[in-house]
Structure 1
Amino acid sequence: MELLIDIVKDGVIDSVKILPFLFITYLIMEYLEHKTQDFTQDIVQKTEHFGPLWGGLIGIFPQCGFSAAASNLYAGRVITLGTLIAIYLSTSDEMIPLFISEQFPVRTMIKILAVKAVIGIIAGFVIDAVVHYYHKIKGRSLNDPVNIEALCEKEHCRCEEDDHEGPLGIVKSAFVHTMHIFLFVLVLSLILNAAIELIGSENLSAMLKTSPVISHILAGIIGLIPNCAASVIISTLYLDQMITFGTMMSGLLVGAGIGLLVLFRVNDDKKQNINITILLFVVGTVVGLLLDLIGIKL
């Protein structure tokens, strides 16, 4: 019973933490849809080339909510794929609080955050450049239209109805979107917490002490777990000097909190979601392995 209570408590806490981010994101998106869609389309097209820069910098703040917000913005085509990946790669969730609680040197912690941000920014710009080149040779438009209405249709929030017009209507629609995603994340968080408890943190830790290449792959797989517990395990092992800096980075770069979970919920193109997940995993683990091969240590 005590274990069940802990699982439920952790699941609720993990889910509640993203509520403010989700609600603010949907408020902004609802306002953009109802009030300034043409203007927004123009602004997005003019500033999208700088998206990975802002995404990499924003992502380093210690909250899973930013990656969730990014997933919603990408599903509405408000941000580019490169910006989404930049935020995913730089997202830090529970790493910073854990380092602070262990009195980890602040200077070293800042360096780690800087490395994550730089990797996210570079990867984001490269990905956007590749996507733009691919679209160009295929003769497709380089800019996807902002498509916030698709989220409304998927969530059945009835945003188009008269009673959803005006400030109160925008708040109501944003609330409906937020609760749908919150309940979805809550249920899956409970399932994931139960799975982690059954497997055991010790078993996950033991798997990361194998050969260098395998440890990076396993760290990346653990990082994919849409739960802050993954980054806690990886960061703790690094603090205990059981894994290398590169191995830790593999897990933390891939770890996007509940961002991927939200992406699969709000973005209808499941094949695209899988490709994004694979792309995130490959970039994170390859960069982590390269950091070890180069011999970078912090």
Structure 2
Amino acid sequence: MEDFGHIIGHAVEHTFADTLYLIPFLFVTYLAMEWLEHKTGSKTQEAVRRAGAAGPAVGALVGVVPQCGFSAVSATLWAGRVITLGTLFAVFLSTSDEMLPIFLAEQVPLPTILKILGVKLMIGMVMGFLIDAVVRIARRDNNPLRIHELCEQDSCHCEEDCAECGENPGKVYEHFEDEACAHTHDHSHDHAFGWKIILKSALAHTVQVTAFILVITLALNLAIEGIGEDALGDFLVANESASVFLAGLVGLVPNCAASVVIAQLYLDGVLGAGAMLAGLLVGAGVGLLVLARSNRHAGQNIAIVCALYATGVFWGLLVNVFGIAF
């Protein structure tokens, strides 16, 4: 009974630690998206679409930062179609989660760390640009913003009409652009009301997504605490010839334990470079959880997860074939 209580306490502690730091990332992201949605016009949407062309390069660089906050942000932004699918993949593939802290704690030589991060960065960029090129050829659309879909899904009521103005908040916000106002109230009221709607909606999104992540992360932590990280390690070393495929499966677990186990087994010499790379490429942390919560199209989410796994396995096998070592 004491052990059970310890497992629960440890899981709850890790859950709050893993989740609460995401709140600022999510809130700022939703705040920016709501502002963009209320302010956007055809010119703004076109500017966002064109800026997205360089997204994979920026995404890969941002993803290298050793925490999964940016993977959560990228999943949210892609759900609203603010960034491209290639940018999403670039962030997911370059994200290292707990790998870097483990390597630093184990005093891994700096050149080795830089090589691994550099390879992940390169793969993220290459695959990101490749995916964007394929999407443009296959779909040939302008990737319109879909932030309003997030509002409908979360029922944040940001689309409700203004009781006083009798018009949509988006139109109220258009007054910022000095367009004609058919109402007698002053411009400062429009400005305050517009930001009130934006803040309310951003807060509603953040609370709902955080609650979802909290519940799922707690369930995962309880499972991992119950099974043990050693069991994950045993799973990886059970079949050495299939270690790349197995490491990729472990990487799909949206929890920092996955990257910890993979990095530690690599340092212990149990996993080869290919298996290590496959697992760390696939491991996008809580980004996959946020994607499942924010993007309402389950088929797209499944396709992204499958493509992410296939990408990690492909590059892992390639490293093994060429005998690359870090």
Given candidates 15, 30, 33, the residue that maps to 1:29 is 33
Alignment partner of 2:31: what SS?
helix
Given candidates 16, 21, 26, the residue that maps to 1:17 is 21
Once the 2 structures are TM-superposed, how far is the Cα of residue 265 of structure 1 from its aligned partner?
0.8
- Residues 37 and 218 of structure 1: is their aligned pair in 2 closer, same or farther, counting only changes over 3 Å? farther
CA distance in 1, matches of 2:143, 2:40: 17
* 1:83-98 alignment, distance < 5 Å: 83-98=87-102
Given candidates 224, 246, 259, the residue that maps to 2:252 is 224
* 1:123-142 alignment, distance < 5 Å: 123-135=127-139, 141-142=140-141
- TM-score, normalised by the number of residues in structure 2: 0.86
Once the 2 structures are TM-superposed, how far is the Cα of residue 168 of structure 1 from its aligned partner?
3.2
Once the 2 structures are TM-superposed, how far is the Cα of residue 239 of structure 1 from its aligned partner?
1.4
CA distance in 2, matches of 1:99, 1:166: 47
Once the 2 structures are TM-superposed, how far is the Cα of residue 67 of structure 1 from its aligned partner?
0.7
CA distance in 1, matches of 2:199, 2:311: 38
Q: Check conservation: 2:229, 2:257, Cα contact below 8 A.
A: no
Once the 2 structures are TM-superposed, how far is the Cα of residue 50 of structure 1 from its aligned partner?
1.2
Alignment partner of 2:262: what SS?
helix
Cα deviation code 1:58-98 (max 9, x no counterpart): 11111211111111111111111111111110011111111
Once the 2 structures are TM-superposed, how far is the Cα of residue 212 of structure 1 from its aligned partner?
4.2
CA distance in 1, matches of 2:241, 2:212: 34
State whether structure 2 residue 313 is matched by structure 1 residue 285.
Answer: yes
- Residues 85 and 213 of structure 1: is their aligned pair in 2 closer, same or farther, counting only changes over 3 Å? farther
CA distance in 2, matches of 1:69, 1:75: 10
Cα deviation code 1:220-257 (max 9, x no counterpart): 11100011111011111111111111111110000000
Which residue number in structure 2 is paired with residue 8 of structure 1? 12
CA distance in 2, matches of 1:228, 1:40: 37
Once the 2 structures are TM-superposed, how far is the Cα of residue 105 of structure 1 from its aligned partner?
1.6
* 1:194-273 alignment, distance < 5 Å: 194-273=222-301
Q: Check conservation: 1:207, 1:215, Cα contact below 8 A.
A: no
Q: Check conservation: 1:213, 1:289, Cα contact below 8 A.
A: no
CA distance in 1, matches of 2:324, 2:43: 45
CA distance in 2, matches of 1:75, 1:233: 30
Measured on the aligned residues, the alpha-carbon RMSD in Å equals 1.5
Once the 2 structures are TM-superposed, how far is the Cα of residue 159 of structure 1 from its aligned partner?
1.1
CA distance in 1, matches of 2:237, 2:111: 27
- Residues 73 and 151 of structure 1: is their aligned pair in 2 closer, same or farther, counting only changes over 3 Å? same
State whether structure 2 residue 155 is matched by structure 1 residue 156.
Answer: yes
Q: Check conservation: 2:86, 2:130, Cα contact below 8 A.
A: yes
87-96 or 31-40, larger mean C-alpha shift: 31-40
Q: Check conservation: 1:59, 1:88, Cα contact below 8 A.
A: yes
Cα deviation code 1:138-166 (max 9, x no counterpart): xxx43220111111111111112338742
Q: Check conservation: 2:7, 2:226, Cα contact below 8 A.
A: no
Q: Check conservation: 2:154, 2:205, Cα contact below 8 A.
A: yes
Once the 2 structures are TM-superposed, how far is the Cα of residue 48 of structure 1 from its aligned partner?
2.2
Number of equivalences: 293
Once the 2 structures are TM-superposed, how far is the Cα of residue 37 of structure 1 from its aligned partner?
4.2
Instruction: Give the letter aligned to residue 66 of structure 2.
Output: P
CA distance in 1, matches of 2:14, 2:41: 39
Once the 2 structures are TM-superposed, how far is the Cα of residue 132 of structure 1 from its aligned partner?
1.6
CA distance in 2, matches of 1:87, 1:187: 24
Where structure 1 has 5 or more consecutive residues not aligned to the other structure, the ranges are: 136-140
Which residue number in structure 2 is paired with residue 175 of structure 1? 203
CA distance in 2, matches of 1:99, 1:40: 43
Instruction: Give the letter aligned to residue 245 of structure 2.
Output: I
CA distance in 2, matches of 1:172, 1:216: 45
Which residue number in structure 2 is paired with residue 105 of structure 1? 109
- TM-score, normalised by the number of residues in structure 1: 0.94
Where structure 2 has 5 or more consecutive residues not aligned to the other structure, the ranges are: 164-168, 170-192
Percent identical residues: 49
Which residue number in structure 2 is paired with residue 138 of structure 1? none
Instruction: Give the letter aligned to residue 11 of structure 1.
Output: T
CA distance in 1, matches of 2:36, 2:241: 45
